[in-house]
Amino acid sequence: MRHSIIAFFILAMVATAFNTATAQELSAMEIVTKADQKVRGKTSQGSMKMTIIRPSWTREMTMKSWSMGTEYSLILVTAPARDKGTGFLKREKEIWNWQPSIDRVIKLPPSMMMQSWLGSDFTNDDLVRESSMIEDYEHSLLGSEKIDGRDCYKIQLIPKEDAPVVWGKLLVWIDKTDFIQMKTEFYDEDGYLVNTMLGKNIKEMGGRMLASVLEVVPEEEEGHKTRIEYLDIKFDEPIQDSFFSIQNLKRVK
């Protein structure tokens, strides 16, 4: 019996050591890559609702989105009527905005990436993801913290010297089990916290566990908040490169 107990404790210690080693094998970059790939897939398409919250008013918009890898994305506003048909297209390094009310396509310069997206607390960069959390930043694992009861990796992202990045630093908390981006803090070049983005209402969507709600809260604007709720999403269904064209931006429904 004594030998059985000793053998049990040895096996338990080995298992613990193995699990610890496995967790330590993931670098900060690998963790960020897993989280990024989870919300992208090879392709994705879905619908969402954006709610802009201000101290004296609230505004809702609905939209559809399509993406393929990191190079292509298209977002179409479907409501309200005054914004319906407005679209945003990312094709490799070029970003375009279609405004049907003036029958005009505008190419967005890098200087506009920090501007508000449709009056919300999201920036143009947040929505079309011009910068890459994987390629444009140096990653370092700072430790572990709990967010909403979930054990998370805490990772710091510092932009590479020549990267087309609008932020001075990011702090990201990624769930250790499902690799969900639970919280992100966005800092400017002077080190001041500008926005905090929270992942909420975790549930299965498109065959994977995701944060179905993203909420952005500006640090210095009390009572301001923007929520994006994913209504449905599908991953890895075929989409042709030609879908992500300026011509299709004007006619997609």
Do residues 154 and 173 lie in contact, with contact meaning Cβ atoms separated by under 8 Å?
yes
Number of domains in the chain: 1
Of 180, 215, 178, 223, give the one whose Cα is nearest residue 197: 215
Instruction: Output the pLDDT for position 186.
Output: 94
Do residues 195 and 187 lie in contact, with contact meaning Cβ atoms separated by under 8 Å?
no
Residue 206 belongs to a domain? yes
Q: CA angle, corner 191, sides to 214 and 201, nearest 5?
A: 15
Q: Residue 241 has what DSSP assignment? A: G
Residues of the chain with pLDDT under 70: 1-24, 127-131
Instruction: Output the pLDDT for position 127.
Output: 63
Residue 60 belongs to a domain? yes
Instruction: Output the pLDDT for position 24.
Output: 52
Residue 7 belongs to a domain? no
Long-range contacts, 92-101 (Cβ 8 Å, 24+): 93/130, 95/124, 95/128, 95/130, 96/246, 96/249, 98/246, 98/249, 98/250, 100/250
The CATH number of residue 114's host domain is 2.50.20.10
Q: Residue 133 has what DSSP assignment? A: T
Which helix (DSSP H) or strand (DSSP E) does residue 233 occupy? strand 225-235
Instruction: Determine if residue 130 is left, alpha or beta; phi over 0 gives left, psi from -120 to 50 gives alpha, anything else beta.
Output: alpha
Do residues 170 and 32 lie in contact, with contact meaning Cβ atoms separated by under 8 Å?
no
Residue 8 belongs to a domain? no
The upper half-sphere exposure of residue 15, i.e. CA atoms within 13 Å in the direction of its Cβ, equals 6
Residue 13 belongs to a domain? no
Of 118, 123, 122, 77, give the one whose Cα is nearest residue 226: 122
Please tell me the distance from the alpha carbon of residue 194 to that of residue 232, in angstroms, as a whole number: 29
Residue 87 belongs to a domain? yes
Instruction: Output the pLDDT for position 165.
Output: 81
Residue 85 belongs to a domain? yes
The letter for the amino acid at 32 is V
Provide the domain limits for residue 99.
Answer: 28-251
> Which residue intervals of 153-208 are DSSP H helices?
none
Of 180, 167, 168, 172, give the one whose Cα is nearest residue 155: 172
Instruction: Output the pLDDT for position 41.
Output: 86
Residue with tokens 């449905």: 232
The letter for the amino acid at 27 is S
Residue 19 belongs to a domain? no
Instruction: Output the pLDDT for position 147.
Output: 96
Instruction: Output the pLDDT for position 187.
Output: 96
